[in-house]
Chains A and B, each alone.
Chain A
Amino acid sequence: MSLGVLWALFVASFKMFIRNRAAVFFSLFLPLIIMLIFGVLNFEGSTEIELGIVDEADNEASATLIEGLGEFEYLNLIEGEREAELAELEEGDRGFVLVIPPDYQPLLGAETGLVAYAANSDPAQAQVAQGLLQQAVGAVMGDSLGGSIPDIPRLAPPVEFEAVESRDLGYIDFLVPGIVGMTIMQLGLFGVAFGFVQLKRTGALRRLFATPTSPAYFLSAQVLSRLLIGLAQVAILFGVGIWFGLQMFGDYLSLLVIVLIGSAIFLAVGFAIAGWAKNEDQAAPVANLVSLPMMFLSGVFFPREAMPDFLADITQFMPLTYVNEALRAIVNEGAGLLSLGPQLIGMGVWAVITFVLAVLMFRWE
């Protein structure tokens, strides 16, 4: 291996990318624009409070309370065990967890024993929500005791609040890892497939074969420059994401590993397409056929939980699904690589499949 040759080709490949306005637009700015649009739209719009309920009393009085709370449209009730619900609260999936103790007494102004655990991530929002919850609980208890009591807030609050450290995940936290996944897919598929097919069609690639340098150098340089560009993109997306309020709970090294493996998978797919196709017209439909289903079914913009079960079952095996799951686990939950076994296995299998595919399908001319 001559490093001088590799370096010269790497620099050339990098310059060619940077000077190709269409390539720069589609791979660098488009993801950014998509992120800005979705970031501004902000799909969190719902004002419902996710209220976890732990019913340890399990008697008539607690059932009445739960039923009564269920009537409030701004409360979304989820019943569960104490530990599970508190865990959800920490994950940011509950606004509050209301614990109804075994000795619950629906007495106004007296100790009710009700304790609500509140996420402390957004104090202003929590304040409002606390008031709403107090009111709701008070109203339900008043109802159950017969007659409405308008001055509940002035009585002793029926619920005692305890703050819980939690991750308040916004849509931006969901979106950025997805966009990162999408970007490395697009870069591999389109950045490589199109540039390479063009070089093949015009004969620029043949001109390299007229020199004694092995074409493998050119391929390596191409891969390395695309990886570098991919990393720069991820950095930009993260930077903008953080400016939008993205929280990074994991470590960047794990993130880097996932980004590199993901890039390897999609670069291999890109080279398989580029190796097979004779011109851009052949490459485009195939690249779209591969990328479009993943863009919408691998959880880039919307949670895969929203899909019908059969679709979710099928799409869980798609390469981008593994990449996105791993990225979200790292960014949103602070997961380390060791806890990402299933995703890493899935990505590893895809890396092998796509590499073999690329080797089998690749033709220089």
Chain B
Amino acid sequence: MTAPSTLPARHAADAPPIIVVRDLRKRYGDLTAVDGVSFEVSDGEVFGILGPNGAGKTTTLEMIEGMRLIDEGSAIIDGVDVARDPREVKRRIGIQLQSSAFFDELTLVELIDLFGQLYGRDVDPMALLAMVDLTEKAKSQVRTLSGGQKQRFSIASALVNDPRVLFLDEPTTGLDPQARRHTWGLVRRIREEGRTVVLTTHYMEEAEELCDRVAIMDGGKIIALDTPQTLVDELIGRGFRKARVERLANLEDVFIDMTGHDLREDD
């Protein structure tokens, strides 16, 4: 590794691509939900897909994950063609779905064990639950979890197969600022383990915090793709100025300062 230590842990240029997406398309009748999307994700990178609702983020993600049929184009993950062998791809990736629903009547430990079985693995449920701070809820049923706990459990369940690539679809939507920051920490730890993370989000602050590079989608196409800093610099370079210059702190900083970083679980 020759990259200077001041750069993010691993940068696009440092590693060979682990995800290669070429000209991906999906049509529903007259509607073209995904219209020729191409990008590459490097090994160890955190890659964000941003965009307004209906931009085609989730559809793109689901085609790459092998959850949805690809109409046109190709996606290759870790050398495996998704269209050709979706099962092998699923063996190598972890998926957190937007709706984090599970079998409500099972306990967290039982579910982690069950998911382990589905990959043919014996896993240590307590270690995974400890990683997402759910040790105390180990023997509880899923239906007793709060929204944030469910999201974290969902991430833990996506890690049972020790995946090389983790897909997170809006992992912090609906969470309070404390829970969101907690999830950010979790994503950073996952990245430090050497995994590649692809996530979608509505929160620009989240993308800036977490992502090495982001793709901005609209109308089924990628309209911009670069590091957050480069995208901002380009905009400023085109002469853009905020009507009001950002203050040194904003209301969210006030909120966090007053309510602390501690997780509130009884939401």
Q: Which residues of A are in contact with B by a Cβ distance under 8 Å?
A: 2, 4-5, 8-9, 12, 15-16, 19-20, 199, 202-204, 206-214
Chain A CB within 8 A of B39 CB: no
Chain A CB within 8 A of B97 CB: yes
Q: State in angstroms the CA–CA spacing of A204 and B99 once bound together.
A: 8
Q: Which residues of B99-116 have CB atoms within 8 Å of chain A's CB atoms?
A: 99-106, 110, 113-115
9 contacts between A and B (CB under 8 A): A4-B120, A9-B117, A12-B114, A15-B110, A16-B104, A202-B101, A203-B100, A208-B118, A211-B115
CB–CB A8/B117 < 8 A:
yes
CB–CB A204/B67 < 8 A:
no
CB–CB B97/A212 < 8 A:
no
CB–CB B118/A212 < 8 A:
yes
CB–CB A5/B118 < 8 A:
yes
Q: Which residues of B are in contact with A by a Cβ distance under 8 Å?
A: 65, 67, 87-88, 90-91, 95, 97, 99-106, 110, 113-115, 117-120, 141, 157-158, 161
* A201 CB, min distance to chain B CBs, angstroms: 9
CB–CB A12/B110 < 8 A:
yes
Check A202/B99 contact, CB under 8 A, given A210-B65, A210-B90, A211-B115.
yes
* A193 CB, min distance to chain B CBs, angstroms: 17
List, in ascending order, chain B residues with CB within 8 A of A15's CB: 105-106, 110
* B30 CB, min distance to chain A CBs, angstroms: 21
CB–CB B97/A210 < 8 A:
yes
CB–CB B120/A204 < 8 A:
no
List, in ascending order, chain B residues with CB within 8 A of A20's CB: 105
Q: State in angstroms the CA–CA spacing of A203 and B99 once bound together.
A: 6
Contacts A203-B99, A206-B67, A212-B87 aside, 20 further interface pairs with beta carbons under 8 A come to A5-B118, A8-B118, A12-B103, A12-B106, A15-B105, A16-B103, A19-B105, A19-B141, A204-B102, A204-B103, A206-B101, A207-B102, A209-B67, A210-B95, A211-B90, A211-B115, A211-B161, A212-B91, A212-B119, A214-B87
Nearest residue (CB) in A for B160 is: A211
Check A203/B97 contact, CB under 8 A, given A12-B110, A210-B67, A210-B90.
yes
The 4 closest A-B pairs by CB, nearest first: A8-B117, A202-B101, A210-B95, A19-B105
CB–CB B101/A207 < 8 A:
yes
* A211 CB, min distance to chain B CBs, angstroms: 4
Nearest residue (CB) in A for B116 is: A8
Q: State in angstroms the CA–CA spacing of A9 and B114 once bound together.
A: 7
Q: State in angstroms the CA–CA spacing of A204 and B111 once bound together.
A: 12
Nearest residue (CB) in B for A213 is: B118
List, in ascending order, chain B residues with CB within 8 A of A213's CB: 118-119
Q: State in angstroms the CA–CA spacing of A206 and B169 once bound together.
A: 14
CB–CB B67/A5 < 8 A:
no
List, in ascending order, chain A residues with CB within 8 A of B90's CB: 210-212
List, in ascending order, chain A residues with CB within 8 A of B120's CB: 2, 4-5
List, in ascending order, chain B residues with CB within 8 A of A5's CB: 117-118, 120
CB–CB A8/B105 < 8 A:
no
CB–CB A203/B115 < 8 A:
no
Q: State in angstroms the CA–CA spacing of A8 and B116 once bound together.
A: 10
Q: State in angstroms the CA–CA spacing of A9 and B106 once bound together.
A: 12
Check A204/B101 contact, CB under 8 A, given A2-B120, A8-B114.
yes
* A323 CB, min distance to chain B CBs, angstroms: 30
* B39 CB, min distance to chain A CBs, angstroms: 21
List, in ascending order, chain A residues with CB within 8 A of B67's CB: 206, 209-210
* B230 CB, min distance to chain A CBs, angstroms: 33
List, in ascending order, chain A residues with CB within 8 A of B119's CB: 211-213
Q: State in angstroms the CA–CA spacing of A2 and B120 once bound together.
A: 9
Q: State in angstroms the CA–CA spacing of A5 and B110 once bound together.
A: 14
CB–CB A203/B103 < 8 A:
no
List, in ascending order, chain A residues with CB within 8 A of B99's CB: 202-203, 206
Nearest residue (CB) in B for A6 is: B117
List, in ascending order, chain A residues with CB within 8 A of B88's CB: 212
Nearest residue (CB) in B for A16 is: B105
* B88 CB, min distance to chain A CBs, angstroms: 7
* B78 CB, min distance to chain A CBs, angstroms: 14
Q: State in angstroms the CA–CA spacing of A206 and B106 once bound together.
A: 17
List, in ascending order, chain B residues with CB within 8 A of A2's CB: 120
